[in-house]
Amino acid sequence: MTARRTTPPADDSNQYSIRAVERAIGVLNVFSRGKNKFSLDEITKETGLSKPTTFRIVSTLQQYKYIVLDPVEGRYRLGSVFLSLGAAALGSVSLKGIAKPHLSCLRDDLQTTVLVGTIMDDMLVYLDKVECDGPVRIASDIGLRRDPPNFGMLGMTLMAYLEDEEAQRLLGCSPLKAFTNKSIVNTKEYLDRLHEVRRQGYTVEFGEAIEGVWGVGAPVRNSNAEVVAAVAAALPMSSKSDARVTEVVAELLNCAAAISSDLGYRSR
């Protein structure tokens, strides 16, 4: 009796494949199928592996923080290590390089400081900034400074596009605090604000993060329509007017759309 073949025939592309690694990748791929939390039984069913094999793979991935077990729900989700890997992937397609000319044009058009950032390892990380000679200078060391994920227009924009559970988890890790006397410190009020940002597609905040500074933030999407970063403009409160706010929002949305387009995003 001929044994049933359980692996593809060897060829130049897979002759060095390692079965255990393939199975681990199969487990991780489960989380890309439109759902972000799975029980052990669900992972076993999705992969077609035996439950003992699935358990060993899941335990190993958990040990290295590739997946995390929610102790309340008893379900697994991807770990924060993927934020770092995602940032590295973004770097490999040069998000910074793609964004730079758009940021520079926006800086020149608005005559103000422009930034782009993402959430990495549960913190807000600045990927790039371009400054003008105006009064607003943001002390954001590119790739080094970490702010709470809810900080300012960048943080609010990025958190607005997370699932509610993930946003609440981040707020648990980095509780709201008063950066200025206008900062939102009530969790429910902040979550309501996130829903508003997501509904309108951008953030506008007036002196909530930095005294005397107002700003606008907008999401940047990749080819899968995922929000992978946010772009923001920071302006002095002395320049605030209805007309100026309308202008900055329009310019910033155009900039974010141009960067997203260059990353492969196509709006429906």
List the domain boundaries for the chain.
Answer: 19-79, 83-262
Does residue 11 surpass a pLDDT of 80? no
pLDDT band at 18 (very low <50, low <70, confident <90, very high): confident
Does residue 2 surpass a pLDDT of 90? no
pLDDT of residue 5: 34
At residue 228, φ and ψ (nearest 5 deg) are -110, -10
Query: What proportion of the chain, given as a percentage, has pLDDT over 90?
Result: 49
CATH homologous superfamily of 83-262: GAF domain (3.30.450.40)
The sign of the torsion formed by the CA atoms of 235, 254, 151, 90 equals: negative
Query: What proportion of the chain, given as a percentage, has pLDDT over 70?
Result: 82
C-beta separation of 262 from 254 below 8 A? no
Does residue 268 surpass a pLDDT of 80? no
pLDDT of residue 15: 61
pTM for the complete prediction?
A: 0.63
pLDDT band at 81 (very low <50, low <70, confident <90, very high): confident
For the segment 47-56, the average pLDDT, to the nearest whole number, is 94
On whether the 19-79 domain is CATH 1.10.10.10, my answer is yes
The chain-wide mean pLDDT, for the chain, equals 84
Same fold, 19-79 and 83-262: no
Question: What length does the chain have?
Answer: 268
Does residue 260 surpass a pLDDT of 90? yes
Does residue 72 surpass a pLDDT of 90? no
The sign of the torsion formed by the CA atoms of 242, 246, 249, 255 equals: negative
Q: What is the DSSP string of 151-220?
A: -HHHHHHHHHTS-HHHHHHHHHHS----SSTT----HHHHHHHHHHHHHHTSEEEESSSSTTEEEEEEEE
For the segment 42-60, the average pLDDT, to the nearest whole number, is 93
For residue range 217-232, list pLDDT tens digits in order: 999 998 888 999 999 9
pLDDT of residue 252: 96
pLDDT band at 258 (very low <50, low <70, confident <90, very high): very high
More confident residue, 48 or 16: 48
State in Å, rounded, how far the first CA of the chain is from the last one. Answer: 54
For residue range 114-142, list pLDDT tens digits in order: 999 998 888 898 888 888 765 545 544 44
More confident residue, 141 or 184: 184
Residue entry with tokens 């829903």: 195
